[in-house]
Chains A and B, each alone.
Chain A
Amino acid sequence: MKLKSILSHHGTAGGWGPLPVVLCLGVVLAGAGVVAADEAAKPDDQLPTITLKGGRFDPSELVVPANTAFKLLVTNSDSDAIEFESFELHRERVVKPGETITVFMPSLSPGTYKFFDDFHNSTPNGVIVAK
């Protein structure tokens, strides 16, 4: 009853209209935008990186923040070209020997996403864990 009266006081009849709600939403969205922009604007040496070395992904399990798009560096330190691929993430990139590529990753729901080297079945799979 009290809540109802407060709402009616700050409703359109009170002159505030939906302004407080819009302001609150704006603050929340702006905050989310800043976090996302921070992730995207990180210098390269701070970006999450996966390196293929000696026929293995390092790290084999990469933890990233959930619900935030990010850039991922993939380095191939081996002497053969590899194909970094993830069916779940809809990403597929050839990486030549000695090359580092940047993969634009989507905002991920919390969970585990498998990736693999499609050129070498013997390479153990890795996972990206969004938390």
Chain B
Amino acid sequence: MHRLTKCLLPAAVAAVAMQVVRYPRTNPAVESDLVAPPEIKSALHRACYDCHSNETTWPWYSAVAPMSWVIHHDVAEGRSRLNFSSWGDYAEDPGTKSQKLEEISKSVARGDMAPWYYRMLHPDAALSDDQRAQVVRWVTRELDPKPASP
């Protein structure tokens, strides 16, 4: 019993001390959201928007260290790399928009996104093979739009 207390007490103190380091859970204004067909938007919204937009749904455990640190890092990094809420900014430079689209296509096709640990906590974020193929086809059309046949 005494040994158990000796182990648990420092762990409890450390767990409480960790809560001192807190990060704000903020959602800045959406400046210009991605424009895409509803089925694509819906798939990307479920799989990507928590980290790659300003529409993050912050779960309760995102306020508890050390999970809060990991989630804050992932959201900050995700928004820096690709933020669907700033899509209009990317679109101002056609080269940047194309590159973002290519990266979305590659990540979705490879199954890199959403990451496995995120899918474990959010099973509905997993994209089916069909949804992945839809996203890839949409990117292909966006990168090489063909005029509609008469």
The answer on a CB contact under 8 Å between A87 and B80 is yes
The answer on a CB contact under 8 Å between A105 and B93 is yes
Chain A: CB-nearest residue to B94: A104
Within 8 A of B (CB), among A85-115: 87, 90-94, 101-106
Number of interface residues of A (CB under 8 A): 12
Complexed CA–CA distance, A87 and B83 (Å):
10
Chain B residues within an 8 Å CB radius of A105: 93
Q: Give, as a whole number of angstroms, the nearest-CB distance from A48 to chain B.
A: 15
Contact of A90 among B90, B94, B95 (CB under 8 A): B90
- Asked if B92 is at the interface (CB within 8 A of a chain A CB), the reply is yes
Chain A residues within an 8 Å CB radius of B92: 104, 106
Contact of B93 among A87, A94, A104 (CB under 8 A): A104
Complexed CA–CA distance, A103 and B92 (Å):
9
Complexed CA–CA distance, A87 and B89 (Å):
11
Chain B's interface size range is 10 to 19
Within 8 A of B (CB), among A1-56: none
The answer on a CB contact under 8 Å between A93 and B99 is yes
Given contacts A87-B80, A92-B100, contact A103 B86 (CB under 8 A): no
- Asked if B57 is at the interface (CB within 8 A of a chain A CB), the reply is no
The answer on a CB contact under 8 Å between B96 and A90 is yes
Q: Give, as a whole number of angstroms, the nearest-CB distance from B128 to chain A.
A: 29
Contacts A91-B96, A93-B93, A104-B93 known; 16 new A-B pairs at CB < 8 A = A87-B80, A90-B83, A90-B86, A90-B89, A90-B90, A91-B93, A92-B99, A92-B100, A101-B95, A102-B95, A103-B93, A104-B92, A104-B95, A105-B93, A106-B89, A106-B92
